[in-house]
Amino acid sequence: MKSSTNLHNPMNKQFLIRVVVSGFIALLIIGFTSALGLWQFAQSERVDIQNEVLNAQPVALSQIHESESYVQESTFARRVTLQGTLSCDDSLDLRSETIQGRLCLFENSNDLPIVVFLGNTSTGQFEAIPLTIQGRLQPAQSYEPLALGQMPETSLTELNIHALVHHYKQSLYDGFVIVQSITSDTETLDVTIDEELLILPPAGIDIRNLFYAWQWWIFAGFTLLLWVKYVRDEWRKHAESL
């Protein structure tokens, strides 16, 4: 008779309600934080990001890169399109360890000009006329300020954004575009580039995202421990009241 009475005791019902409600809330928190941890872990193992970038459809440069910001790692080697006019009157010869050829200035419509790499391609017929350029976005190779005596006149050993601004004497887009094709109203010129020389987004384990994943899982475990402690304390209070 005592056990039957205890089952209908209001204190028993209150205890069960508190356990069930707190368990449901804890389960929601654990599920949410565990899912966030799994998502962060998936982001930390983006070994396929380079292939995604290389195979992505071309987009307008302004859609993925703001004119006054650094080129983001996730956009390295993205195919971009530019519309404007090409000017090679004041071109530079680039002789870096990775790429060698000619740099020209592209007057990007409604935005800052950007330097484009053309290799040794002859582009005389495309200068000073409306064009659409498609190419791969790349970061500048150096951001180190150069002394006045080190400023280039006709050639560069590395693509330094400060040297480019000094040479062209105007604000420029950060980074540059390696040209793959040039299209005018009358013709299209395809430019061959060696994709092995492209700077690609870093692949492999991203330590920052990995730490975020562990952080969310630790929080999920902490939530579980708090719920267990809460149930244990409530059970003790309930047992003492019997």
Domain assignment present for residue 2? The answer is no
Scanning 45-83, the segments in alpha helix (DSSP H) are: 49-55, 61-64
Shared domain for 71 and 157, answered yes or no, is yes
pTM over 0.85: no
Instruction: Assess if residue 29 is contained within a domain.
Output: no
Q: Indicate whether 142 and 238 sit together in one domain.
A: no
Q: Are residues 144 and 224 in the same domain?
A: no
Q: 173 and 99, same structural domain?
A: yes
* Residues 192 and 222 grouped into a single domain: no
Same domain, 137 and 107: yes
pLDDT of residue 65: 84
Q: Does residue 28 belong to any structural domain of this protein?
A: no
Task: Give the model's confidence band at 2: pLDDT under 50 very low, under 70 low, under 90 confident, else very high.
Answer: very low
189 strand-pairing partners: 182
Looking at the structure, do residues 179 and 224 belong to the same domain, yes or no? no
Q: Do 103 and 218 reside in the same domain of the chain?
A: no
Confirm whether 179 is domain-assigned: yes
Tokens in use for 4? 């039957």
Q: Give the tens place of pLDDT for each residue, 18-62.
A: 888 888 888 999 899 898 888 777 766 666 778 888 889 999 998
Whether 134 is covered by a domain: the verdict is yes
Asked if residue 158 is part of any domain, the answer here is yes
Q: Which domain holds residue 224?
A: 213-242
Query: pLDDT digits over 95-141, tens only?
Result: 888 888 899 999 988 789 999 999 888 888 999 899 999 999 999 88
Residues 133 and 219 in one domain: no
Burial string for 57-94 (b: 16+ CB within 10 Å, else e) reads eeeebbeebeeeeebeeebbbbbbbbbbbbebeebbeb
- pLDDT tens profile 60-98: 998 888 877 888 888 899 999 999 999 998 899 988 888
**Do 182 and 78 lie in a common domain?**
yes
190 & 76 share domain:
yes
In a domain, 39, yes or no: no
In total, how many domains does the chain have? 2
C-alpha distance across the termini of the chain, in Å: 14
CATH code of residue 119: 2.40.50.140
**pLDDT tens readout for residues 213-233:** 888 889 989 999 998 998 888
Is the separation of the CB atoms in 223 and 24 below 8 Å?
no
93 and 193: one domain? yes
